[in-house]
Amino acid sequence: MRIPTWTEDELVLAGALVVRNGWRELRTTNRAVHELSELLRSLPIHSPEARALPSFRSPDSVSRKTADFMTNHSSHSGKATRCGKLTLLTIDAFTTREAEMLQAARAIEEGIGSGDLHAIPPQPDEVDEAGHTAIEGRLLVRRALARERDPRLRSLKIEQVRRRGSTLKCEVCDFDFARVYGALGEGYIEVHHVTPLHVSGARETSLDDLACLCANCHRMCHRSRPGESWRTPTVLREQIRKSIQTPAH
């Protein structure tokens, strides 16, 4: 059985280690490398058979990955090691969004340490139709989707909208399920965290942290593409406006 390629979550953790070390690689003997090796071997991403392989995310392999981050960074003047596109995208993410990526790493570390991320089953849509997952980590997407699908939270958000006398419709495109589908669509909407949970932190979700979205806009807010993992409803609304103004030929 071959060692699985590095996933987003693993690369986020390795990248954070390098950034905290001043964009320098860490040797196999470094204690932090051994601690990360143990953490990676515990992540609920790969199969138990893969994680049981002696060389799976060994200290040697972790050290080599930190070398990839160092040598492929723009500040490095020497020869770059060969690495995959996802590693390069993660390096770019840490370079352009360092604080946010370090927050993502901390969220993964805390979630694994508390057992929270182990307890959440895989969620539909955590991997898109092209096989992409969020560059900040699949486990964080999994947790966000699970929270957004909490029926109690959704009911409370709908109740809040109605108390304010507002129409229950998509906050991005104004789609109204009841107007289009009649009784079938009455009371239906999806909820979305305006700010990703790894950015907002592990605090209790406020109803004002949630937006009501139609299924299409919800999917577009979560849709991953290389180097971009999520977008707020405000950003998506602006993308729609620009798309309407400049139609494709």
In Å, how far from its chain's centre is CA 214?
21
The answer for residues whose C-beta is within 8 angstroms of residue 123's C-beta and 6 or more apart is 141, 142, 145, 146, 149
pLDDT at 1: 81
How confident is the model over 231-249, as a mean pLDDT?
85
- d(CA 105, CA 140) in angstroms, rounded, equals 10
pLDDT at 195: 81
pLDDT at 77: 94
pLDDT at 126: 84
CB 190 within 8 Å of CB 183 = no
Place of tokens 């699908």: 149
Q: State pTM to two decimals.
A: 0.85
Band the pLDDT of 125: cuts 50, 70, 90. Answer: confident
How confident is the model over 181-207, as a mean pLDDT?
82
pLDDT at 200: 61
pLDDT at 199: 67
pLDDT at 247: 63
Q: Please report, for residues 1, 108, 187, the alpha-carbon distance to residue 49 in angstroms, rounded to integers and kept in the order given.
A: 8, 22, 45
Selection from 23-27, 118-122, 245-249 with the highest mean pLDDT: 23-27
The answer for residues whose C-beta is within 8 angstroms of residue 196's C-beta and 6 or more apart is 136, 140, 144, 229, 230
- Please check the confidence at residue 21 and state whether its pLDDT lies above 80: yes
Mean pLDDT of the chain: 91
How confident is the model over 215-228, as a mean pLDDT?
86
